[in-house]
Amino acid sequence: MERPILAFFKSYSRLTLRNSPILIFGYLVPFAFLFAFAELFRATGGGIVYFAGPVLTIGIVGDGLWGAIGAAEGGEAGVAGRLAAGMVSGWLLCLPMAAGTLALAHGWYGMAPPRDWFSVLAMVTLGVSAIRAIGLVLAAVTRRLVGTGIAILALYLPMLLLSGATLPAALLPKWAQTAAEFMPAAYLVNGFQGIFFLDRTLWDNRDTAAALLLTAVVGMFLAVRLFRRQEESLAPRHKAWVLAVLAPFVAMGCWQSGTGEHIAQNRTMFRHWERSGAFLIRHARIFTGEGAAIENGSVLVRDGKIAEVYRAPAAPDPEALHAELVEGAGKTLLPGLIDVHVHLGGAPGLSGSSADYDPANSMPRAAAALLYSGVTSARSVGDDLDRTLTLRRRIDEAATPGARLFVCGPMFTAANGHGTEFTPYVPDAMRGPAKAQLVRTAKTAGEARAQVRELKRRGVNGITAILEAGWGQGTLYDRLDLFLIRAIAEEAHARNLPLAVHTGDARDVFDAVDIGAASVEQGSWRDELPDSLLERMARERVGLDPTLSVVEAYAQYFAGQTDALSGSLVQQAAPAGVLKATREFLASGKSADPARVEAFTHSMEVARANLLRAWQAGVPLVMGTDAGNPLVFPGPSLHHELRLWVQAGIPPAVALEAATVNAAKLLNASGRIGAIRKGLDANLLLVDGNPLEDISATERISLVVLEGERIHRAELFGRE
């Protein structure tokens, strides 16, 4: 039996090389699409990675379906031997296409070689086997060559047009992406893109691999049985076996159409591709964050990084750089803004919908609102730990759109300290888990150190502790013992975790500086910071984050004022239902408290004066908003904070530095973000006008860029 099989294998291989459909659909079409994608989408370097998977899929589908016709033809070998030989020969003939595609993408268009060649080979093998098995069943059912060709074409075209192989899947309408969930080609595209883009392995694609393997096994079994009935007329039920071979992907499609995971993966991959492109922002004023602004310059972005900063007025030709053009004349280019103090799970407004209070909804939306507003990075201080870490990971993977997150929490505080006042409102059954997510209330130095180490293992970016003991009138709290916070600080320093300390008066600030805090949050709202303390902060490079927005917001809240709801950017970034309900509540007078209005008005005066004196003393200034508190909306509040600083006497350039380069240094991320410098992440904000003269220009947003991705701001909130 071995000789007939070998003879068939050799004969089939020779016929394949002369078989025009296989050569066209298995070789010519894939290479044509590779060139088309590269030229049409200017896909070079990282950009071509997105299209390597679709091109491989085109070749595999063409080889598998059209090659099945010749494999099914007779010979001296038995049916099983013929089909097995055809399967192996198809795989061998597909390998040059795969190798040629990757070699061309690497050599001509600069694609980095995949790290896991085994997973690439395995995916090619499983894809060829599954698609060839489907083709064999089709050939067996249709019998005649003309009928087989029509049947294969009827499957070939939808599989390529809807799967993302010939057009980025994320650009297709939702119904088309849903239909593709029932097609093996769509999973091949996603599988290859995951390997190339995200360094995923075959194990990460195990669901797809299992479905392909099952399809190959079932298809071969059915094909052997059907071809053995060549001399018999097939009953109608036998023709329905075509559906049986597709059963694994019918099941996958039913599952995916319910979860929406496949469509989300399409968008994720597309966002990775968008980050890999190249574009030139030309003739803009550039605030680099490091020295004087460039009055007329250009910035080249490539593969998610700032590839070049051009200072000469004569910008390079974007065509010569193979880059798209973004015209920046009359605009100012800034580093993406950074808010170093946000509470993603907070409730800045009221709502009649429980969904607006559900962290599963509110936290991703807050991250999206930050990005919408040009805040490309933010430090979360004291949010639900598990949810924040998960959200950070999903944003890092481009699975969820939002500002890059730096996790600094849970909050270390006293047993009845500030930060614990929210847990009594949680139902009894949930109170313990909620407290574990939000606060740490160590009783001994050893316990405190162990908690810091545990948070380091969890992957936090910093530690936050609270010395603030309240401001009277029912808001007094226990103060964290200095012995405990010193242990927290020492362990945080040992683990290279910046320590942010929440303070309320000069004594708190003095203690925070004394234990080695990296930043003082809020500073003093009750009394003047002594010159000697400011000089020490300047000398030891302790950052001051005054969060003026939250002071003003509380004064307006207790006065029943709606000014904070009227800004254009707030109305764009905050949910309309929340703004409406909050406006109605404030208008009702239920929040009115004249004593607190007076207290917070005084606090605002103190905080503004301390900020101005801190700048004059040379204290490093960083900018946070305490977003998540009433009337302090994530994103727009940072622009308002900039305005409040300038009103307090801080020069616009200094305020912008606090929200960019200084913030990045505080987060230990100045090697990646915070400035416009060659080699840094392309986190950028392009605004109309000149914020160095009129700080309100930062709200006139023309373009937001996150790691090279030009954000489609209107799509960030879905269909609200």
Q: Which residues, at least 6 apart from 637, have a Cβ–Cβ distance to it below 8 Å?
A: 339, 549, 625, 627
Q: Which residues, at least 6 apart from 247, have a Cβ–Cβ distance to it below 8 Å?
A: 218
DSSP 458-490: HT-SEEEEE---B-STT-B-BPPPHHHHHHHHH
Residue 501 confidence (pLDDT): 97
Q: Say how many C-beta atoms besides its own lie within 10 A of residue 423's C-beta.
A: 15
Residue 76 confidence (pLDDT): 44
| The pair of three-digit structure tokens given for residue 430, joined into one six-digit string | 């949930």
Buried b (16+ CB within 10 A) or exposed e, 254-291: eebbeeeebbebbbbbbbbbbbbbbbbbbbbbbbbbee
What is the reported pTM? 0.88
450-455 LR contacts (CB < 8 Å, sep 24+): 451/412, 452/488, 452/491, 452/492, 452/495, 452/497, 453/491, 453/495, 455/385, 455/410, 455/497
197-to-100, 103, 121, 203 alpha-carbon distances in Å: 19, 17, 16, 16
180-to-160, 190, 593 alpha-carbon distances in Å: 9, 11, 58
| The pair of three-digit structure tokens given for residue 219, joined into one six-digit string | 């298809």
HSE of 518, CA atoms in CB hemisphere, 13 A: 25
Residue 1 confidence (pLDDT): 42
Residue 547 confidence (pLDDT): 97
Domain 337-673 in this protein, CATH class: alpha beta
Buried b (16+ CB within 10 A) or exposed e, 17-56: eebebbbebbbebbbebbeebbeeebbbbbbbbbbbbbbb
Separation of alpha carbons 122 and 188, rounded Å? 11
Strand partners, 338: 377
60-to-12, 67, 180 alpha-carbon distances in Å: 18, 10, 17
Q: Which residues of the chain have pLDDT under 70?
A: 1-23, 26, 43-46, 69-79, 81-82, 85, 143-148, 228-242, 422-433, 471-475, 719-720
Separation of alpha carbons 250 and 343, rounded Å? 43
389-to-364, 396, 442, 487, 541 alpha-carbon distances in Å: 12, 10, 22, 25, 29
Separation of alpha carbons 643 and 341, rounded Å? 17
The Cα angle at residue 270 between residues 379 and 406, in degrees rounded to 5 = 10
Helices 482-494 and 506-515, interaxial angle, to 10°? 40
| The pair of three-digit structure tokens given for residue 270, joined into one six-digit string | 């597309």
Residue 314 confidence (pLDDT): 75
Containing 198, the helix (H) or strand (E) segment is: helix 184-198
Please report, for the chain, the start and end positions of each structural domain, with discontinuous segments joined by +: 2-275, 337-673
Buried b (16+ CB within 10 A) or exposed e, 195-222: bbbeebebebbeebbebbbbbbebbbbb
| The pair of three-digit structure tokens given for residue 553, joined into one six-digit string | 């917001």
